[in-house]
Every structure is written in structure tokens, then in C-alpha cells.
Structure 1
Amino acid sequence: MLLFFTAFSLLFLLSCAYRLRQVVAAIPALSPSPSENQSLSSHPPVAIIVPAYNEADNIATCLEAILESARFYPGSTSIWMVDDQSTDSTWTIAQTVQNSLTETDPPLHLVAGQDRPSDEIWVGKNWACAQAIDQQTAADHDSTYLLFVDADVRLEPEAIAAAIAQADTEAIDLLTCCPAIQCGCLAEWLVQPIIFTVILIGFDIRAVNDSKSESAFAAGPFMLFRRTAYDKIGGHRAVASEVVEDVELARRIKGAGLQLQFLAGASLISVRMYRSWADLWEGWTKNIYAGAQRNLFGTLSLAVMVLLLCTLPWLLLGGLGIKALLLDWDKWDGLILALLGLALMAQVDLRRIGGRASGMTARYWWLSGLGGLAVAAIALASIIKTETGWGWTWRGRPLQTVHQNPLD
């Protein structure tokens, strides 16, 4: 029995590594391309929108990086930071950045977020983004592109120019990127590499980038819309009640017959999504089940998948060790040990392949067993939270109002 499960675990890991290698190889890269920038007959104007809620730790470095990237871009830029009624010093810090600008810097507009309409359902950053668009539209009607950047994102100087060049030369209506995922604590190293590996395996980016396919996916930290396409699908107002608004916006782009492109942007864009286990737990339990369109079978399959990929080989290795201590070492145990060694090497290979798109190294790969348990627990908790509304929050704000009756 131990030999059977070991062989199954190895074959499953190898098949997933093969699929991941194909997917990653097919993701186009967003990279600095002076030749493309020079080939543009003009440099279309772009408005950069930054929704922020309790981002005191991030907002200064985020805005400074955006300003540097905007300076690098030859075209007209404007930056709109919306403080979604933060209870920390986000607004004060943003004002400090604004006051430090010179006349030659791109304009930085600060928008004080208003109360959400009492007769409408708005969740997440949708209300903040909608307010920014209203303000930007009233002040600046000629922006060809709208770039939405999360406050925990850091742009390299060439990022905006490279994205505009790619979108403009290839007539892309929504360009979105997988940034480099930064990890700074144990919880992040446990969970982030596994979740992004599973996302890459589950979402075939070749289909996402195929205009003939209905498959759609987007990464909320960096989304560049052609303004006409954004208006056509109704923008963030059309997805006001969607918790995972980035994927829903991508689906609407595809549904409208518009062009979606998902790129690997790790060389120009980075993000540290969560800084503690509590933040990580709240964020991913908010997103996973909702992002799967509340597909119970799909989310349970994800939990099983990560246990098979990450935890099973370590359980089998522990079982083999216990057997060797308590029972005799028989002729098959050497083969089982060798197969388990190959399975663990396949886990390292998965980390390395996924890292080509996400920027994460194979560091701490040996924590995969515990990481698999953590991700499976997150997936199950996401189902419970989303269906019941119990503890389903983002930054402490409840999300259960999305459903009239959470228990339906």
C-alpha cells in the first residue's frame, strides 16, 4: 500500500510539473522594450488610480515608485490616490508625498473617500476606484488608459512605459500582470508559493490570452485598461458587489469581445500582499471561494490537490520512517525511499518553475508539507466564511452584506 501511494504521489507531482512548465513557458513577459516605445507615433495619456485603506506602511513607497515610473514615461500622466476612509495615517502620509513634489513632477491628486451609498452594495476597493474615476473624468477627459495599482505594489521606473507600449502596439483592452511576490515572514513562505503555483496550474494562461476562449483571469494589483473598454463594461460600478472584482472585470472584458492579455511582470512589478498570518488568513479566505465563483467542487478539489502535491510525500516519508523503526526493513522499502526522494525533488522543481513567473525562489521548499495543510485549511475556511458570512471580512470590514441571506 505504501508503495502504491508513493508511486501515485510521484506521478501526480511529475504531471503537475509538466503542466506548470508548459503554462509558465506560454506566459508572455512584460519587459522594458525601447524599440516598442520608440515605434509609437504618440505616447497616449494615462491616469493611475491607487485605492488605499489603512495603508500607512505602504502608501509613501508606493506613490514614490509610481511617480518615478510616471517621470520615465514620455506621455502625460496623472495619479489619483483615494483614501477609502482609513483610520490610520494613510492620508497624512500621502499629503506629505504630495507636498514634496515640484512643478515638473506628474500631478498627484488626493481624493478623500466618501461614505458608501446606503442603498447599494459596495465591497472591497470598488467604491474607492469608482470615486477616483468620477474625479478623474471630471478633471481629465483625454486619458486613453486607466492603470489601477494596489498600494502594496512597487513599480520599477520602466513599468508604466512598458505596459503602455505593449497595450498600444497589440491593441489590448485589459493588460494585467503577475508581479513578483515578495515574502517576509514564515506564514508567507508557507502559503504564497503554493497558492500561486496552484493558480498557474489551474488557470491555463494560454486560454486566458486566447481571444476565442472564454477563460478569463486577472491580477488586481496591476490592471491597465483602455478607457473605452473600461467604460464599455461599466467599470467598477458594474462589479460593485463582487469581492474578487479583478477576475470579474476580466470575465466582462472577454464577454464583451474585447482583448485580454495576462503577462509575467516580475521584472518590473512587485507586491507584498500580506505581512502576517492574520492578514494572510483574512485575505485568502476572502478570495479563494469567491474567486472560484463559489464552486464548491472546484474549491474542495483545490484543497485535495495541495494536500496531494505538498503534504502527501512528507506523510509517506514519515510513515516509512515509523515502519523502519517499528518493523523490519524489507526489500521494497529501498525502492519506496528512492521514489520519495524523486517526489521531493519534484516539489523543488515545482517551486523553481513557478518562481519564473512569480519571482519567488525555492527557499523553504521543505516547508511544503505544512504549507499544504495551511492552504487546504484556508480553502475550507473560505467556503465556510463565504457561505455563512461568519468572519468574512477584509481589513475588518464585513462582507456578508453581499448576500441578502448568508445561509441561503
Structure 2
Amino acid sequence: MTAAFALSLASLAIWCVLLFGRAGFWRIRKPAPVPAPPAWPEVVAIVPARNEAEVIGRCVAGVLGQKYPGKLSLVVVDDHSHDGTSETTATAAAATPRPDALSVVSARDLPSGWSGKVWAQSEGLAAADRIAPGAAYVWLTDADIWHGPEVLGGLVARAVHERRDLVSLMVRLRCASAWERLIVPAFVFFFAKLYPFERVRNPRTPVAAAAGGCMLASRTALARIGGFAAIRGELIDDCSLAAKIKPGGPIALDLADDSESLRPYDDWRSLWDMIARSAYTQLRYSPVLLAGTAVAMTLTYLAPPVLALAGGARLWPAWLAWATMAVAYLPMLREYRQPWWLAPLLPLTALFYLGATLDSARRYWLRRGGQWKGRSQAPVRP
């Protein structure tokens, strides 16, 4: 009981630090509106697409349906699709207010040392240099994202008003199936804990992060870092891009209100694969960091309910740690319009994430890391 009580106190101490010393990561704080710029700069959007015929129509409709007062172009990079992605893209664009703003380019073969998405983005940027040389901003989004009509205007206004080199939105992930309700809000919660948005916005901290589904980058910032070649081999391309840009200019990351992911995750396997694809990359393929993560996840999320249920009232710190955990999670559940009773189940979700993280390491050691769209993109282990 002495050891169990000590573990209970340790878990409670961790949650006290997270609650009060992690820049309020658990709070939902949306930025205040900013005034419109005196002149709306030209923007070029880039969408990498590999076999995205099922979703890219809505993406294109959202991008070209923007009520943006300035000039807007869209470059869709067809990354060796074989499902009619280009045809679906053209059909969708024809039904928008800006049918002539679309350019579809085919990506060249993937060079050695590049991850697939980053190479497609680089091909898109090269095309943008020809198609929209006067664009001051590059809007990077994904083929499975829909944006409401006011999104781009809000991004540009914030970038101009706050003089930020990168403005990103964490799009609202789909949360319809039972598995999505259990796993998806926790994904955003864990991300915000790892990269507190307040610290991302603060130019005096080194914390840098972005969400790849919606990133507005200044053309000068991309040129300053050498374009996408600066992150050529990165699987976690969004946060890597933010880390390159922030030392030269301020960035921002917030939760989106009107940008939504179209990608469904209707079963546990698809969510497991989504996590396992890049979890070990986040740990820099380090067995030491993997072991430390397993210990930290166990002490932070798994120990409180196990100790509380096993020890009863005598292990009151475990009960308090569990309650603190649930309270911290409630704002994210409200943001995703999910019931409060999912909050005490966060330890089960954490166990799911821990299992997927361990599986991510296993895949890497089996030379199957970073699987996406038929490509194994993690570096080959030594």
C-alpha cells in the first residue's frame, strides 16, 4: 500500500502540473476576430492528391467556393493516382464560382529521400511559381478537407494583422462513428498537450506546430527556408514546416470552426493505423523515448483508475488524479459535442494510443513504417 500510495501521489502531481503548468492546453480558447487588411493579397492554394476521387470533389468545391475578395488560384497535384482523381477534380471545379482558377499538375516520380506528400507539395509550389508568381501566401490543405466560405479570409486577415509567417487551423475531425467518438477528441487533446497552442503562438517560446489540413504560409517564409526541400524526408510534415518557419517569424495554431475532415474512421483498425503510421516517427525512432513514453502514459493515464479501483478510499490521490484528468478532458468533449461520460473513459483511450504507439515501433523494426497510400515512407532501420 505504501508503494501504491506513492504512485497515486505521483499521478496526482503529474495532473496538477499539466492542469496548471502547461499553458492551459486543455482550455478551448478561440482567437478574437481581426480587422480586414487594407488590400487583400493574392493567394495560391496547393492540394496534394493521391487516389482521392472519393473526397476531392468536396475539397475543391470548398477551396474555390471561398468568398475571398482577392485573387485565388488552386493547384491540385495528382500524385500518380489511378482512380480518376484528376477527372473528379475538374468536374468539381466547373461547378464553382472560380472554374478557371484550377490547375491540375502531375507529380514527377518520387525522388529518393523525399516523403510522398512533401514531394507533391514541392511540385505544387513549383507550379505555383509559374501560375501565380504574384501570390503573397500559399494555402496548404489536404484533399480530404472541406473549408467553409469564410475560412481563407479569416486566415489571411490574421496573418496580415498579426504579421505571422504561418497561420494554421486544426480542422474539425469527423466524429460520427462510435470509435471516432471514443478516439478522435482525445487525439486533439493529446496534440494540444504536446504542443500547447498558446506556446505555439508565443514567439518567445521554441514550441512550433501546425496542422497539415489547413496552413497558410507566407511566400517569403517558404523562400527563406528553401521551400519544401527543407523538410523533404519528414513524415510529420506540418509540425516540421512550423519548426523551420518559426525561428524567422511568428506562427499561430488554433482550432477550426468551419473546416472539416471528410476522412471516415468507422472502425478501430483505421484509427489504429492512423496513429501507428507516425507515432514512432514522433519519438524519433528512439527505443529510449519509446520506453519513456510507455512509462509516462502508464503513470499519467492508466495508474489512476487501476489504483483507485483496487485500493478504494485509501488511495484517494488516485481518485483525485482520475477526476482531474476527466475535468481537463471535458472542454474538448464539449468542443466535439460529445457526452460528458466519455471523460472518465480517457484511460481506455490512452491505452489504445499506447498500443498503437508500440505497434508503430514494431512496424518500423519490420521495415513497414510510415505506411500511407501504398508507400512505406519511414527511413529504413539500421
* Common topology (TM > 0.5): yes
Correspondence for 2:205 = 213
The answer to whether the 8 A contact 1:20-1:353 is kept is no
1:109 aligns with 2:103: yes
Q: 1:7: Cα distance to partner? A: 4.3
Residues 7-156 of structure 1: matches in 2 within 5 Å?
7-19=9-21, 22-24=24-26, 29-30=30-31, 33=33, 36-37=35-36, 40-68=37-65, 70=66, 72-101=67-96, 107-117=101-111, 120-156=112-148
Moved more, 236-245 or 299-308: 299-308
- For 1:58, the aligned partner's letter is V
Q: Which has the larger radius of gyration?
A: 1
Residues 2-401 of structure 1: matches in 2 within 5 Å?
2-19=4-21, 22-24=24-26, 29-30=30-31, 33=33, 36-37=35-36, 40-68=37-65, 70=66, 72-101=67-96, 107-117=101-111, 120-255=112-247, 257-262=248-253, 264-271=254-261, 275=265, 276-320=267-311, 333-336=312-315, 341-355=319-333, 359=336, 361=338, 362=340, 364-400=342-378
Q: TM-score, normalised by structure 1?
A: 0.82
Provide the C-alpha distance between the structure 1 equivalents of 2:281 and 2:207, rounded to a whole number of angstroms: 16
Q: 1:16: Cα distance to partner? A: 2.4
Q: Deviations over 1:50-96 (max 9, x none)?
A: 1112223321222222222x2x1111111122221223343332222
Provide the C-alpha distance between the structure 2 equivalents of 1:300 and 1:376, rounded to a whole number of angstroms: 11
Moved more, 296-305 or 86-95: 296-305
Q: TM-score, normalised by structure 2?
A: 0.87
Provide the C-alpha distance between the structure 1 equivalents of 2:313 and 2:303, rounded to a whole number of angstroms: 18
SS in 2 for 1:265: strand
Provide the C-alpha distance between the structure 2 equivalents of 1:294 and 1:258, rounded to a whole number of angstroms: 29
Provide the C-alpha distance between the structure 1 equivalents of 2:244 and 2:44, rounded to a whole number of angstroms: 21
SS in 1 for 2:116: coil
Structure 1, unaligned runs of 5 or more: 321-332
Provide the C-alpha distance between the structure 2 equivalents of 1:215 and 1:50, rounded to a whole number of angstroms: 26
Q: 1:129: Cα distance to partner? A: 1.0
Moved more, 49-58 or 205-214: 205-214
SS in 2 for 1:36: coil
Q: Deviations over 1:194-246 (max 9, x none)?
A: 33323222224343323233332221111111001111212223322111111
Structure 2, unaligned runs of 5 or more: none
- For 1:220, the aligned partner's letter is G
Q: Deviations over 1:140-186 (max 9, x none)?
A: 21001000011222222211001100001121111122232332334
The answer to whether the 8 A contact 1:197-1:350 is kept is no
- Alpha carbons of structure 1 residues 211 and 366: separation in structure 2 relative to 1, 3 Å: closer
Q: 1:300: Cα distance to partner? A: 3.5
- Alpha carbons of structure 1 residues 286 and 124: separation in structure 2 relative to 1, 3 Å: farther
Provide the C-alpha distance between the structure 2 equivalents of 1:308 and 1:314, rounded to a whole number of angstroms: 10
Provide the C-alpha distance between the structure 2 equivalents of 1:207 and 1:340, rounded to a whole number of angstroms: 29
Q: Deviations over 1:1-42 (max 9, x none)?
A: 2544444434433432334562355x86356x3x611xx221
Q: 1:125: Cα distance to partner? A: 0.7
Q: Cα RMSD between the aligned structures?
A: 2.8
Q: 1:98: Cα distance to partner? A: 2.2
- For 1:17, the aligned partner's letter is L
Equivalenced residue count is: 378
Q: Deviations over 1:282-317 (max 9, x none)?
A: 332222222343454444333333333333233235
- Alpha carbons of structure 1 residues 149 and 22: separation in structure 2 relative to 1, 3 Å: same
Provide the C-alpha distance between the structure 2 equivalents of 1:282 and 1:312, rounded to a whole number of angstroms: 25
- For 2:24, the aligned partner's letter is Q
- Alpha carbons of structure 1 residues 304 and 155: separation in structure 2 relative to 1, 3 Å: farther
